[in-house]
């Protein structure tokens, strides 16, 4: 434990991390000041207690008709994938019936500006926080392991009593430091956001309100209802989103530590992480154009795709998923794989032929 | 006892060390060889930074890899090239290293103070190391190697960057320590080990050339080292070693298997051995 705390102390003394977190905070505060019109309207509605009434849409909505856009042969060239997509939209019908029973569509939410409010919180603020944490964890993990190589203190460290086992302490130290920095960033950013945006009347709104919708631009731009797999209030949806974000952050933390232990220099490690983070985004754009269905759907099983779609989580997610709650399963599987992976890599590192 | 048993180290197709067999008991061992013969490779393997391709290194019969922490607990290592944390003072750095070496806090603080005085850094113990000269940093390195009062000291070029006064201080520290521990030090500065080494290990062509006492090593050239005034022709087959200033003028020191009456036979020293053994590689 003492070795771990020593490493945490080293990381917390690093001024560059403080500068990075400060810049992220500035960006997040800037985001709070976007959408002034929408924010003013939300705050006005909160003060005046205005509750616009939604309209019934789920009583006549057919999920098969909704999904037919995604599982026609023109779009997916594989019959197996088509079958899975069809099955997803058939099972969505049960969710639509549940939402109809609960009158989720009638939920006022934020009236005509609901989609903008949803965007402001999930597509901008939470997505920014997620990406900032991902980048920060990458930098911190690389620094944790390569600082000894940079400072040329690796021979001292690895020939000491603690030796190569210091890698385990560095792993936990990077986790603790990441938690401290990321938690502070998220808490401060969201505190400022909710100080600016008055959500007091919105927390019990249903996410599947008829006022809420998704703009799907995967093929052509079209608008469809925000159909969640189960009924979520905004509060529940927000908490679940934060939990999924936490899962992604932990999985990414394990991945960056694995990469840092395997490669021999920080530049190579950085390039590999950039590739893992960014290449799936390009895949999402290029692979459908090249009609490569299987590679495309494998691409949707990456953490990057899950991060990209954060404002759609716990919904049908159109072309980005093949089954219900795929984003949750992707994160869980990544967590399990990374836990096994880091254990294997630590053992490899302790037996590696050459160190310093 | 530390044993190196038929150790070979290869990097892809390059053989850095071949079939090295050595035994170390208490005393000072001077590892002498030109650059590229494998000194640092051997030191790194002894410090567990690298593992042999073939063979094994044992401590009292047990492989040092299996001993793990138990072995490194006995070890003090000073690498050839090393850095430091720029914003740390020597005291902070030694405290950090003491923790990594598993030393108890109170004991470590006392030991750090003692070592800082020993290496003459007590006046600057709380100054940031980024302001230190190379010699001062080297002394910090020596101090960290001695922190855990190691049973084995492995020092790779320990006197690099030290001025003559500091080198004498260093030799005295090593001499004091060597009675009850193994000290292995590699150096190019022959004079550093000439006066303190109990045994001299020389590597040639990545193999052990000799592992003998200073007298035995120098005794190989007994009657074969001569001096003659500079400018005098030398008709016998010879290898010039160096020129040196004597009261009678500049003399040429040379090695020859054949006797030459006009030259004065002198007692061979370790530098003569070094230049003769590695002379064809210069």
The answer to whether residues A203 and A232 touch, using CB atoms and an 8 Å cutoff, is no
Sign of CA dihedral B101, B107, B108, B111: negative
Tell me the shortest Cα–Cα distance from B70 to chain A, in angstroms.
7
Please state at what angle helix A2-12 crosses helix A166-196, rounded to 10 degrees. Answer: 50
Residue B259 to residue B145: CA distance in whole angstroms: 47
Determine, for residues A355 and B79 on separate chains, whether the beta-carbon distance falls below 8 Å.
no
Of the partner residues B50, B83, B102, the one whose CB lies closest to the CB of residue A152: B83
Residue B176 to residue B178: CA distance in whole angstroms: 6
User: Closest Cα to residue A253, out of A268, A267, A273, A236?
Assistant: A273
Sign of CA dihedral B2, B8, B10, B14: positive
Interface test with A, best of B11, B16, B83 (most A CBs within 10 A): B83
Residue A311 has what DSSP assignment?
Answer: G
Determine, for residues B83 and A153 on separate chains, whether the beta-carbon distance falls below 8 Å.
yes
B100 touching chain A per CB within 8 A: yes
| Structure ipTM | 0.86
- Cβ contacts of residue B138 below 8 Å, gap of 6+? B158, B159, B160, B161, B162
- pLDDT range class, residue B112, cuts 50, 70, 90: very high
B87 touching chain A per CB within 8 A: yes
Looking up tokens 């530390």 gives: B2
Instruction: Give the CA angle between residues B274, B275, B280 to the nearest 5°.
Output: 120
Domain map (residue ranges) of chain A: 2-351
Residue B146 to residue B97: CA distance in whole angstroms: 11
Q: What is the mean pLDDT of chain B?
A: 89
Residue B243 has what DSSP assignment?
Answer: E
- pLDDT range class, residue B264, cuts 50, 70, 90: confident
Greater model confidence, A223 or B116: B116
Ordered structural domains, chain B, with CATH: 2-217 (3.40.50.300), 219-281 (no CATH)
Chain B CB contacts of A13 below 8 Å:
87
Residue A45 to residue A345: CA distance in whole angstroms: 54
CA distances for B109 relative to A16, B94, B116, B127, B176, angstroms: 31, 9, 11, 17, 22
Residue B44 to residue A155: CA distance in whole angstroms: 9
Chain A CB contacts of B77 below 8 Å:
155-156, 159
Predicted model pTM: 0.87
Which structure tokens are listed for A243? 């939990």
A169-200 burial code (b ≥16 CB/10 A, e <16)? bbbbbbbbbbeebbeebbeebbebbeebbebe
Kindly state the helix (H) or strand (E) to which residue A3 belongs, with its residue range: helix A2-12
Summarize pLDDT for B73-100 with one digit per residue, the tens: 999 999 988 998 888 999 999 999 999 9
CA distances for A355 relative to A261, A315, B144, B175, angstroms: 11, 48, 20, 31
pLDDT in the model for residue A50: 66
Which structure tokens are listed for B29? 């061992």
- pLDDT range class, residue B281, cuts 50, 70, 90: very low
Residue B37 to residue B154: CA distance in whole angstroms: 17
Find the farthest-apart pair of alpha carbons in chain A and give their distance in angstroms, rounded.
71
B81 touching chain A per CB within 8 A: yes
Chain B CB contacts of A151 below 8 Å:
83-86
Interface test with A, best of B17, B43, B47 (most A CBs within 10 A): B47
Residue A118 to residue A234: CA distance in whole angstroms: 9
Sign of CA dihedral A237, A240, A246, A251: negative
Percentage of residues of chain B with pLDDT beyond 70: 99
Question: Can you list the residues of chain A whose pLDDT is less than 70?
Answer: 50, 72-76, 217-222, 356
Question: What is the DSSP pairing of strand A222-225 with strand B225-229?
Answer: unpaired
Strands ordered across the beta sheet of B182-186: B75-78, B152-156, B182-186, B27-32, B199-204, B207-212
Kindly state the helix (H) or strand (E) to which residue A35 belongs, with its residue range: none
Summarize pLDDT for A180-208 with one digit per residue, the tens: 999 999 999 999 999 988 888 889 999 99
pLDDT in the model for residue A218: 61
Residue A191 to residue A102: CA distance in whole angstroms: 31
Tell me the shortest Cα–Cα distance from A293 to chain B, in angstroms.
43
User: Closest Cα to residue B190, out of B171, B169, B172?
Assistant: B171
A354 touching chain B per CB within 8 A: yes
- Cβ contacts of residue A30 below 8 Å, gap of 6+? none
Beta strands in B90-167 (DSSP E): 152-156
Summarize pLDDT for A137-160 with one digit per residue, the tens: 999 999 998 888 888 899 999 999
Question: What is the DSSP pairing of strand B182-186 with strand B264-265?
Answer: unpaired
Chain B CB contacts of A173 below 8 Å:
none
CA distances for B28 relative to A197, A280, B153, angstroms: 74, 59, 9
Beta strands in B64-220 (DSSP E): 75-78, 152-156, 182-186, 199-204, 207-212
Residue B168 to residue B174: CA distance in whole angstroms: 10
Main-chain dihedrals φ then ψ at residue A11, nearest 5 degrees: -70, -40
What is the helix, strand, coil percentage profile of chain A, to 5?
A: 70, 5, 25
Q: Is the pLDDT of residue B282 over 80?
A: no
- pLDDT range class, residue B170, cuts 50, 70, 90: confident
Q: Is B85 helix (H, G, I), strand (E, B) or coil?
A: coil
Residue A154 to residue B169: CA distance in whole angstroms: 27
- pLDDT range class, residue B240, cuts 50, 70, 90: confident
- What residue in B sits closest to A13 (Cα-Cα)? B87
B176 touching chain A per CB within 8 A: no
Chain B CB contacts of A161 below 8 Å:
69, 72-73, 100-102, 148
Q: Can you tell me the mean pLDDT for B174-186? A: 86
CA distances for B11 relative to A353, A354, B17, B51, B167, angstroms: 10, 10, 10, 11, 34
């Amino acid at each position: 434990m003492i070795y771990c705390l020593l490493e945490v102390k080293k990381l917390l003394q690093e001024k560059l991390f403080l500068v990075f977190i400060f810049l992220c905070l500035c960006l997040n505060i800037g985001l709070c000041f976007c959408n002034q019109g929408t924010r003013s309207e939300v705050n006005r509605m909160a003060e005046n207690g205005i509750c616009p009434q939604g309209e019934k849409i789920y009583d006549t909505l057919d999920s098969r008709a909704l999904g037919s856009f995604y599982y026609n042969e023109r779009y997916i060239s594989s019959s197996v994938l088509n079958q899975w997509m069809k099955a997803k939209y058939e099972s969505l019908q049960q969710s639509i019936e549940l939402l109809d029973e609960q009158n989720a569509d009638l939920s006022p939410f934020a009236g005509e500006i609901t989609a903008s409010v949803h965007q402001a919180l999930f597509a901008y603020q939470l997505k920014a926080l997620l990406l900032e944490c991902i980048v920060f964890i990458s930098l911190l993990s690389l620094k944790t392991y390569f600082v000894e190589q940079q400072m040329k203190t690796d021979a001292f460290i690895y020939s000491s009593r603690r030796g190569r086992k210091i890698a385990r302490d560095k792993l936990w130290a990077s986790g603790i430091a990441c938690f401290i920095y990321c938690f502070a960033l998220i808490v401060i950013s969201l505190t400022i956001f909710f100080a600016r945006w008055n959500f007091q009347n919105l927390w019990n709104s249903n996410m599947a309100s008829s006022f809420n919708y998704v703009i799907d631009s995967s093929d052509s731009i079209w608008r469809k209802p925000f159909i969640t797999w189960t009924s979520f209030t905004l509060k529940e949806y927000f908490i679940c989103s934060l939990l999924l974000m936490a899962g992604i952050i932990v999985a990414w933390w394990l991945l960056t530590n694995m990469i840092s232990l395997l490669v021999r220099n920080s530049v190579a490690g950085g390039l590999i992480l950039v590739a893992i983070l960014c290449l799936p985004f390009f895949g999402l754009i290029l692979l459908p154009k090249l009609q490569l269905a299987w590679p495309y759907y494998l691409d949707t099983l990456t953490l990057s795709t899950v991060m990209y779609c954060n404002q759609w989580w716990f919904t049908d997610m159109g072309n980005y998923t093949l089954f219900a709650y795929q984003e949750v399963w992707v994160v869980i599987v990544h967590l399990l794989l990374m836990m096994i992976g880091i254990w294997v890599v630590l053992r490899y590192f302790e037996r590696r032929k050459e160190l310093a | 006892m530390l044993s190196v048993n038929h150790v070979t180290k290869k990097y892809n197709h390059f053989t850095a060390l071949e079939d090295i067999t050595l035994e170390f008991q208490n005393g000072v061992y001077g590892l002498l060889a030109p650059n590229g013969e494998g000194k640092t490779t051997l030191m790194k393997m002894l410090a567990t930074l690298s593992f042999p391709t073939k063979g094994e290194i044992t401590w009292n019969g047990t492989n040092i890899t299996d001993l793990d922490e138990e072995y490194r607990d006995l070890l003090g290592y000073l690498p050839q090239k090393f850095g430091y944390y720029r914003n740390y003072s020597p005291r902070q750095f030694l405290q950090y290293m003491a923790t990594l070496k598993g030393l108890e806090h109170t004991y470590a603080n006392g030991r750090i103070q003692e070592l800082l005085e020993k290496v003459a850094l007590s006046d600057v113990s709380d100054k940031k190391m980024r302001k230190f000269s190379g010699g001062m940093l080297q002394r910090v390195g020596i101090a960290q190697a001695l922190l855990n009062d190691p049973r084995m000291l492995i020092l790779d070029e320990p006197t690099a960057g030290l001025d003559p006064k500091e080198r004498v201080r260093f030799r005295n520290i090593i001499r004091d320590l060597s009675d009850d521990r193994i000290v292995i030090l590699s150096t190019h500065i022959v004079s550093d080990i000439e006066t303190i080494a109990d045994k001299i290990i020389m590597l040639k062509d990545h193999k052990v050339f000799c592992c003998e006492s200073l007298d035995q090593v120098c005794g190989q050239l007994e009657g074969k080292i001569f001096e003659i005034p500079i400018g005098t022709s030398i008709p016998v087959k010879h290898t010039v070693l160096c020129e040196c200033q004597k009261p009678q003028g500049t003399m040429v020191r040379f090695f020859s298997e054949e006797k030459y009456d006009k030259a004065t036979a002198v007692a061979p020293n370790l530098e003569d051995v070094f230049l003769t053994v590695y002379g064809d590689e210069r």
